[in-house]
Amino acid sequence: MKTQLLPTHCYNVFLIVFLIAYHPVFAQKNLENNKMVTTVFKAFKKNNEKKILKCLPTKKDIEHLVPLIKEARPQETIPATDSVLANFKVELIKNFRQLIKKGNSFGVEWENIVLTGVRYNVNPYRNVLVERGDITLECTSGAIEFLLIIKKSINIRGNWRIMNQMKFRLL
């Protein structure tokens, strides 16, 4: 008795659906060793504002991103690169201080935090062809378990960058 093979086009459709459905699983590979993740973790562990600023996009990163945004959203007004960077810097330092303060209010001893895991959730930038997602650092400090969520991080030119506020969530 002969068995029939699936037609080639069915196989191709199955392969494409499989790859799209499981892309977030593959994208999570080695996030624990990702430069942005380790820098954010060390910045919180050492309470170091200067270290967290290394996770911001560079001027070249913004200049790379602007044409992609303009192409997808031609009606959107984009401020000058230097203005964008200055705003990111002020907002990130403010957000960092708020998270340190919030963690302190729950008894987090930042110098003793341990990274227990990292998760990635796809959060696409509508119509802009860049990889974007929420990266979650699962941490503990003694008996306290919490999450540091880096919202809407973007992979620009092979480097993950903080592009939005971070969140602190107690478990």
Determine, yes or no, domain membership for 12.
no
Write the pLDDT tens digit of every residue in 79-117. 999 999 999 999 999 999 999 999 999 999 999 999 999
Whole-angstrom Cα distance, residue 143 to residue 90? 32
CATH number for the domain harbouring residue 63: 3.10.450
pLDDT of residue 58: 94
Can you tell me the mean pLDDT for 50-79? 91
How confident is the model over 138-154, as pLDDT tens digits?
999 999 999 999 999 99
Q: Which domain holds residue 119?
A: 30-170
- Please indicate, yes or no, if residue 158 is contained in any of the structural domains: yes
Q: Is 7 within the bounds of a domain?
A: no
Determine the straight-line distance between the first and last CA of the chain, rounded to whole angstroms. 58
Number of structural domains the chain divides into: 1
23 pLDDT more than 80: no
- How far apart, in whole angstroms, are the C-alpha atoms of residue 79 and residue 72? 16
Looking at the domain assignment, is residue 21 inside a domain?
no
- How confident is the model over 33-56, as pLDDT tens digits? 789 999 999 999 999 999 999 999
**Environment class of residue 136 by beta-carbon count within 10 Å: exposed (0-12), middle (13-18) or buried (19+)?**
buried
d(CA 95, CA 164): 10
pLDDT surpassing 80 at residue 10 = no
Percent of the residues in the chain that have a pLDDT greater than 90, as a whole number: 67
Residue 19 lies inside a defined structural domain of this protein: no
- In the prediction, which pLDDT does 21 show? 41
Is residue 75 domain-resident? yes
Q: Are 99 and 43 in contact (CB under 8 A)?
A: no
Is position 82 within any domain? Answer: yes
Looking at residue 29, what is its pLDDT?
52
The predicted model scores a pTM of 0.80
Q: What is the pLDDT of residue 8?
A: 52
Please report the pLDDT score of residue 24 as a whole number.
Answer: 47
- Residue 9 located in a structural domain: no
